[in-house]
Amino acid sequence: MVLLEYLELTGYWPPKRTDVAIVIGIVAVLEAAKWAARLPWVEPMLRSRLERWTAFAESSAEWALAGKRPTIAIASALAIILASWAPHYLTWPYWTDHDFIASLALGWDRGRLPWRDQFGFQFPGEIEFFWVLGRVFGWGSSLSFYAADFALLCALLTTVAASCRTCLGRWLAGLTACLWIVGYYTTLPFTLVAQRDWHTAELVAIALMLLALGGSRWTWIVSALLYAAAMTIRPHAVVFFPAFVVALIFPPRGAAAGWKGILFWLSVLGAGLLAMFSPVFFSGLTGDFLRALRTVSHSGEFYGGGSLSRSWRLFTGELRDVWTLSVCSALLTVAWLATSPASRRFAAILLAANACALLYRPMHPVDHNYLTQPLVLFQALAIVAIVDAVTCDAIVARRTALLRFGVLIILFDLAFPWGNPYCDVRADVSAIKSLTTRSVPEQSPPGSIHAFPSTRGGGAVYTWGDYQATLEYLRQHTDASTPVANLLTHFPYPSINAAIGRISPLPIESVILVNWLPDIDFDDLVATTMREQPSETVVICDAEYVEGNLGRRLTRTRETLDRSYVPVARFGEIEIRRRIPDVDK
């Protein structure tokens, strides 16, 4: 109790985790009892009982740590979490970030070029990812996207577990890190899953783990290409380059990289970057792409408001985080004191990666909450070195089994997503039914129910039923060539174009840019574009309540809609309008 009060007053981690304090307390009491049983002045009967109790606790811990029991327990927990989350995850709707990137890919496929015909500042990697999915699996469904995201997650978990088994000789450390990754990722709502920063971090982690393996040149080629893909999604991935240098300079025992190997990896990386930027080059969009980046950087406020002082504040704030300091200290200790060269090397690579991850978030001009995901991922990977030291290292192995078992229990407790609302078996049953019948779930999936509730009220503007009815109407009354403009202004800015596979006629990638870039007058540009649209053009807008800030910034656009577009359907607060022929001629 005193310890918890001290942690609460000083702000040190973990002030709120009573379960962690209980485990620490139990282990401390048993260790104190073992010490007391050796004191000669303790009453003999009490000493005998203490020896019996502590011997039973020690033997139980040894039994729990023996053989494959910890590995089986961790693997079972992983399977349970994924099985209760993955089925309904495949039915989640697009978040607005996914929607406009998928819309850019669809427009590019049909001749509307990003950065030129639709103003935006996305790097091409994620656009190309959506383009491949659309060409292979078809446009107008989120299923292929979330299935691909889940496949990438499984690839990350497999790589982490297999590389740890190969380098360290056991599955346990890698699987425990996988539990931390899954325990974090399955607690994210649809506004945070499958973000560009998560995909970037996943690709970097897989590339780094493959490089840590050493192995053949094919492994190096895949590693370099994955790192190149990460940098085409988010240029922030460049901060992880020192971690790759550490992995290249200190190859596994028996593998000799040398300067020729390093130059080979760098040459593949350069070729991969050129290949992944080639669609931009060959489409003649290089100037448009660079011009869009310059425009955003000088736009003022938000994306134009980055500075070195702001980045330094974010960086020093991350350094003051006790969990970050604890992870880095543990990695440094293992890298310095571990008896196994493989363990020291693995810890050094992960220490370099965690240090690099601290620079990722401060690089971005806007502090979005998903920018913390790369650091969280690499801190989860750091658990590999900690578990390996606790279970295998010769120095730690001399400690009692009770202490080592207590550490594993704490790591498991912190990783497992207790009370996770997104691990919902009932939602899985409904999702499996929807997936097999190719229908839409009757209720909003767990990850989006806060944004699309079943009933109106509670601050939500759009219900799940109204949203799905809107999509169904558009599928029946428009075709693949119909331009559909999404001008919905309230959270969660429902996905329209990507959800039904219709190109957007808007000159901007998303209406959200009106708020993000207030120094640019998008109102006149959007209004002019909407007046020039053909008669079949459809607009999705708010029926009555336009979001205040967007409403003030889109006055001419609203006037154009009222004059040139007539309402044809309404579902709750979502109104569908169609172009009045020749009204502006």
Give, in order, the Cα–Cα distances in Å from 344 to each of 199, 247, 356, 486.
Answer: 28, 12, 18, 53
Q: Percent of the chain, pLDDT > 90? A: 63
* pLDDT band per the 50, 70, 90 thresholds, residue 581: confident
120 sits in which H/E element: none
pLDDT of residue 541: 96
Place of tokens 């994955």: 226
More confident residue, 503 or 17: 503
Give me the pLDDT at residue 584, please.
60
Residue ranges of alpha helices (H) inside 425-478 are 425-437, 464-477
CA 443 to chain centre: 25
Tokens of 58: 């020690």
pLDDT of residue 519: 81
Can you give the pLDDT at residue 66? 85
Pairing mode, strands 538-542 and 484-487: parallel
CA–CA distance, 20 with 2 (Å, rounded to integer)? 14
Q: Are 494 and 104 in contact (CB under 8 A)?
A: no
| Distance between first and last Cα of the chain | 78
Higher pLDDT, 454 or 504: 504
Helix (H, G, I), strand (E, B) or coil at 580: coil
Mean pLDDT of 227-249: 95
DSSP 8-state symbol, 95: P
> 67 versus 558: which is more confidently predicted?
558
Is residue 20 very low, low, confident or very high in pLDDT (cuts 50, 70, 90)? confident
Using pLDDT thresholds of 50, 70 and 90, give the confidence band for residue 400. Answer: confident
DSSP run (H or E) holding 538: strand 538-542
pLDDT at 216: 77
Does residue 360 surpass a pLDDT of 50?
yes
Token representation of residue 168:
């360290």
Per the structure block, which two tokens stand in for 350? 């992960």
pLDDT tier, 341 (very low <50, low <70, confident <90, very high otherwise)? confident
Q: Which pLDDT score is estimated for 367? A: 84
Compute the distance between CA of residue 201 and CA of residue 376 in angstroms, rounded to an integer. 10
Q: How far is CA 541 from CA 485, 504, 570, in A?
A: 8, 13, 10
Residues 6+ apart with CB under 8 A from 118: 104, 107, 112, 504, 506, 507, 508, 509
The percent of residues above 70 in pLDDT, for the chain, comes to 93
What pLDDT does 392 receive? 73
* pLDDT the model gives residue 15: 46
Give the pLDDT confidence score for residue 480 in this predicted structure: 92
State the Cα–Cα distance between residues 157 and 561, nearest whole angstrom: 49
44 upstream amide cis, omega within 30 of 0: no
Q: Taking the model in full, what pTM does it have?
A: 0.93
Instruction: Tell me how far apart the alpha carbons of residues 444 and 271 are, in angstroms, rounded to a whole number.
Output: 44
Are the CB atoms for 200 and 233 separated by under 8 Å? yes
Given a cut of 90, is residue 45 above it in pLDDT?
no
Burial of 308 (0-12, 13-18, 19+ CB in 10 A): exposed
Q: Render pLDDT for 58-106 as a digit per residue (tens, 0 to 9).
A: 888 888 888 899 999 999 999 999 999 999 999 999 999 999 999 999 9
Most confident range (mean pLDDT) of 443-457, 495-509, 544-558 is 495-509
**What is the pLDDT of the chain when averaged over all its residues?**
89
pLDDT at residue 506 tops 60: yes
Using an 8 Å Cβ cutoff, are 247 and 266 in contact? Answer: no
Q: Range with the lowest mean pLDDT among 55-64, 93-102, 399-408, 520-529?
A: 399-408
Q: What is the mean predicted confidence (pLDDT) over 160-166?
A: 92
pLDDT at 251: 78
* pLDDT band (50, 70, 90) for residue 271: very high
Lowest mean pLDDT among 57-66, 274-283, 570-579: 57-66
**Residue 585's pLDDT band (cuts 50, 70, 90):** low
Residue 139 per-residue DSSP state = S
Instruction: Indicate the SS3 state at residue 137.
Output: helix
> Whose CA is closest to 87, among 404, 423, 325?
423
The answer to whether the CB of 537 falls within 8 A of the CB of 579 is yes
Q: What is the mean pLDDT of residues 563-585?
A: 89
State phi, psi for 569 to the nearest 5 degrees: -160, 155
Q: Is pLDDT at 42 greater than 80 in this prediction?
A: no
From residue 534, alpha-carbon distances to 107, 476, 482, 546 in Å are 17, 19, 9, 25
CB 147 within 8 A of CB 431: no
Q: Round the CA-based radius of gyration of the chain to a whole number and report it.
A: 27
Beta sheet of 565-571, edge-to-edge order: 484-487, 538-542, 574-579, 565-571
Cβ–Cβ under 8 Å, residues 464 and 458 = no
Exposure class string for 121-132: b at 16+ Cβ within 10 A, else e: bbbbbbbbbbbe
Task: Compute the distance between CA of residue 251 and CA of residue 488 in angstroms, rounded to an integer.
Answer: 53
pLDDT band at 380 (very low <50, low <70, confident <90, very high): very high
Residue 300: the pLDDT is: 62
Q: Which residues of 17-43 are buried (b: 16+ CB within 10 A; e: fewer)?
A: beebbebbeebeebbebbeebeeeeee
